[in-house]
Amino acid sequence: MTLTIALACAAALLALAVAAVALCRFAAATRIVYGACMVVTAISLVAAAGHLLGDEPQLTATLPLGVPWLGSHFRLDALSAFFLIVVDLGACGASLFALGYGEHETAPQRVLPFYAAFLAGMTLVVLADDAFTFLLCWEFMSLTSWALVMSHHRVPENVYAGYVYLIMASFGTLALLLGFGLLAGPGGLYSFDAMRAAHPSATIGAFVLILALIGAGSKAGIVPLHAWLPLAHPAAPSHVSALMSGVMTKVAVYAFVRIVFELCGAPAWWWSIVVLAAGGVTAVMGVLYALMQHDLKRLLAYHTVENIGIIFIGLGLALAFQTYGLPFAAALALTAALFHVFNHSVFKSLLFFGAGAVLTATGERDMEHLGGLIHRMPQTAFVFLVGCAAISALPPLNGFASEWLTFQAILLSPALPSWGLKILVPAVGGLLALSAALAAACFVKAYGVTFLGRPRTPAAAIAKETDFFSLAAMMLLAALCLVAGVLPGLFIDALAPVNMALLGAHMPQQIGAPWFAIVPVTASRSSYDGLLVFLFMVMSGTLAASAIHRLASDRLRRAPAWDCGYPDASPSTQYTAMSFAQPIRRVFGTTVFHARETVDMPPPGDMRPARLTVEIRDLIWDMIYAPVATGIGIAADRLNRLQFLTIRQFLSLVFAALVFLLLVLAIWS
């Protein structure tokens, strides 16, 4: 039943996409389409949630579509139900946001149809249960999001971004295709059930793991396959950016989990090492890239890379524990990863909505041209602050809860017998801690430069608070951040069926614990209670405030800023994003980005202004992508000469081929 509802919702979305093509000449189209999308996804959300929380048995359906002799299989089990929740939640929020935001769209006919189709694609990916259907929906999802990236196609950067995105997406799809080809074998057993039954050999499993890491990783943004992500995500309209960053990357995580934990057999000892290393590097590199950015949306995109890294660290740990038969530890790690999947989808959507609101209010994505927005758009500023705190893993919000669980999982890893892991895991833990701290720094920068201080441009100075729908969406997600942070136990329990299905074990029941605390293993070992911490902070804060206001003074006077007696008139004397990141750039950037600062200080009496220029190189691009591109260019040039041969030369080609084959025949026996 639930599956039927989910499929029906997907079908409805597709129909909506078709209808949108016809509708979008009308003014009301935006409201209609987004409203309908919101309703449909809400229905599907409720259904999926019911299925997961009710811990109902898995449902399957087969439609006479796809590969003819196979049909297209769909299946709703705990895992897909969970990811369906993530998808639908993000989609529902984005649609609500877009009810307001979409009004500013100049070319709705380039957004509306693809938006609905995009949602349908993501929904179907998590439901698909055979290789063909999966890849079909997967690539359909990429294709529609590509169209959305291209929606503002008059900006050359966007076209370029779309180009890179499409190539990387197809690259990933082909990798997955090869992987499925291996799993299906020459007989072409494409249904996942057959693959589950097949128990592939170790070598095949290894190949599939690598291919899955490449295929799903390139979509999720694993370094060094992330290159397209910071280009494409910001290029799309903000609610789509939110979906791509917050939800589509999670669909990629789903693909990875589905393949690695379910389809490709018993893990070998080195699998988890690969995944852990990839995750750790991704987490730190992502946040370091983000620190170097001053484009708000691109900064957020890079943070998606970082959080994907954190998720993959959790997955790697789960894989390691599973390899060595520690199901409960594996359950803890997997829970941490999946919980972070949910959390990241919530606060990343929230942050992208905020960025979108700022974009519509000021027309600026560059933080260096913003500032002081907290005065002009107080509510947006507040919810954005919640998002920043959540993604910076500050208690009592949800980001901290999932990262705390990841740390707990890391602390269980001495039980692992493998030496490689013994060395690697603490290092990865260090990377995780580093990325968390850097993330906090980065969001101090993002929020401080964008919303605090004084406006740096007239546009920022006259910004208006965003519309009702956008605010509603953001408030909703902000509230969710708090709830998930304060009552993590509920979510952990909800994830139990998923762990049960994948690992055959799950974390201890959390509901029983007093005050909704979460206890991964035992209370004496470690426990955390977001609710209590939250209450304590509120209590002590209010206590202090009331005490001081009651007993001591509550007088207040406005005056010019003191600033050590150097009152600076111009807003341009404030710290900018680049200058804020300068100390960290000096610490990390010189090695990671070959960052170089050159100061041009004119001698006294010289009128020209002093200049400080910063050069940053993206080494990954320079070392991997650029060479490939040039290589293909050279090959194309070489071969292109063949277009300009004379007829005689072409004839001699034919002649040569003939003689060659005859020679082969003469020698062949």
Q: Which of residues 267-296 bind another protein (CB under 8 A)?
A: none
39, 88 contact by CB (below 8 A)? no
Q: Identify which range of 67-75, 238-246, 255-263, 493-501 contacts another protein by CB under 8 A.
A: 67-75
Q: Does 236 bind another protein (CB under 8 A)?
A: no
* Cβ neighbours of residue 547 closer than 8 Å, sequence gap 6 or more: none
Q: Where are the beta strands (DSSP E) in 66-123?
A: 72-76
Which residue's CB is nearer to another protein, number 2 or number 406? Answer: 406
Stretch that binds another protein, among 29-37, 221-229, 244-252, 581-589 (CB under 8 A): 581-589
Residue range at the interface with another protein (CB under 8 A); choices 242-250, 265-273, 405-413, 496-504: 405-413
Contact 399, 485 (CB under 8 A): yes
From the list 571, 614, 618, 625, which residue makes contact with another protein (rule: CB under 8 A)?
571
636 binds another protein (CB under 8 A): yes
Other beta carbons within 10 angstroms of residue 508's beta carbon come to: 17
Query: Toward another protein, which CB reaches closer, 79 or 367?
Result: 367
At residue 656, the 3 state secondary structure works out as helix
Distance CA 457, CA 572 (A): 9
Pick the closer one to another protein by CB: 462 or 544.
544
Please, which residues bridge with residue 42 across strands?
none
CA dist 413 and 425 (Å) reads: 7
Give every CB contact of residue 127 below 8 A, 6+ residues apart in sequence.
Answer: 3, 6, 7, 10, 74, 75, 76, 80, 84
Minimum separation from the CB atom of position 189 to another protein (A): 10
DSSP letter for each residue of 151-197:
GGTTSHHHHHHHHHHHHHHHHHHHHHHHHHHHHHTTTT--BHHHHHH
Question: In 3D, which of 482, 225, 240, 438 has the Cα closest to residue 343?
Answer: 482
Among 131, 308, 351, 460, binds another protein (CB under 8 A): 131
| In the complex, least distance from residue 42 CB atom to another protein, rounded to whole angstroms | 26
Phi-psi region of 159 (alpha: psi -120 to 50; beta: other; left: phi over 0): alpha
Binding of residue 393 to another protein (CB under 8 A): yes
If one asks whether residue 375 binds another protein (CB under 8 A), the answer comes out as yes
Q: How far apart (Å, rounded) are the C-alpha atoms in residues 383 and 481?
A: 10
Judged by CB under 8 A, the number of residues near another protein is 158
By CB under 8 A, tell whether 140 contacts another protein: yes
Query: Which residue's entry shows tokens 């029983």?
Result: 512
Residue 316 interacts with another protein (CB under 8 A): yes or no: no
Q: Compute the distance between CA of residue 251 and CA of residue 172 in angstroms, rounded to an integer.
A: 13
Q: Which stretch binds another protein (CB under 8 A): 251-259, 266-274, 314-322, 388-396?
A: 388-396
Residue pair 116/13 in contact (Cβ under 8 Å)? The answer is yes
Q: 411, 459, 461, 475: which one contacts another protein (CB under 8 A)?
A: 411
* Contacts to another protein from residues 486-515, by CB under 8 A: 515
| Residue 608 or 648 having the CB closest to another protein | 648
| Rounded Cα distance, 161 and 150, in Å | 8
Binding to another protein in span 77-96, by CB under 8 A: none
Q: Is 18 in the site for another protein (CB under 8 A)?
A: no
Distance between CA 271 and CA 282 in Å, rounded? 17
Task: Pick the binder of another protein from 25, 27, 156, 606 (CB under 8 A).
Answer: 156
Segment lying near another protein (by CB under 8 A), choices 40-48, 51-59, 218-226, 554-562: 554-562
Rounded least distance, CB 499 to another protein, Å: 22
Which DSSP state fits 236?
S
38-57 binders of another protein (CB under 8 A): none
Decide if residue 635 touches another protein (CB under 8 A). Answer: yes
Site for another protein in 525-544 (CB under 8 A): 525-529, 532-533, 536-538, 540-541, 544
* 26 is a contact residue toward another protein (CB under 8 A): no
Token look-up 């470690």 returns 526
Closest contact distance (angstroms) between CB of 53 and another protein is: 26
- What is the closest distance, in whole angstroms, from the C-beta atom of residue 56 to another protein in the complex? 29
Site residues (CB under 8 A) for another protein, limited to 427-466: 427, 429-430, 433-434, 436-438, 440-441, 443-445, 447-449, 452-454
Name 240's Cβ contacts closer than 8 Å, sequence gap at least 6: 94, 111, 115, 118, 145, 148, 149, 151
- Using an 8 Å Cβ cutoff, are 528 and 401 in contact? yes
Q: Which of 58, 379, 457, 579 binds another protein (CB under 8 A)?
A: 579
- Is 203 a binding residue for another protein by CB under 8 A? The answer is no
For 564-572, the CB contacts below 8 A with 24+ separation are 571/371, 571/372, 571/453, 571/454, 571/455, 571/456, 572/456
Among 31, 46, 56, 170, binds another protein (CB under 8 A): 170
Per DSSP, 647 falls in state H
Q: Which stretch binds another protein (CB under 8 A): 333-341, 558-566, 589-597, 610-618?
A: 558-566
Is 324 an interacting residue with respect to another protein (CB under 8 A)? no
Residue 610 interacts with another protein (CB under 8 A): yes or no:
no
User: What is the Cα–Cα distance from 76 to 66, expressed in whole angstroms?
Assistant: 18
Least distance between another protein and beta carbon 517 (Å): 7
Other Cβ atoms closer than 10 A to 527: 15
Interacting residue with another protein among 57, 414, 458, 512 (CB under 8 A): 414
Question: Does 210 sit near another protein (CB under 8 A)?
Answer: no
28 binds another protein (CB under 8 A): no
Residue with tokens 């995944």: 275
Smallest separation (angstroms) from another protein to the CB of 448: 3
199 contributes a contact to another protein by CB under 8 A: no
What the block records as the tokens of 647 is 């007829």
Least distance in angstroms from the C-beta of 329 to another protein: 14
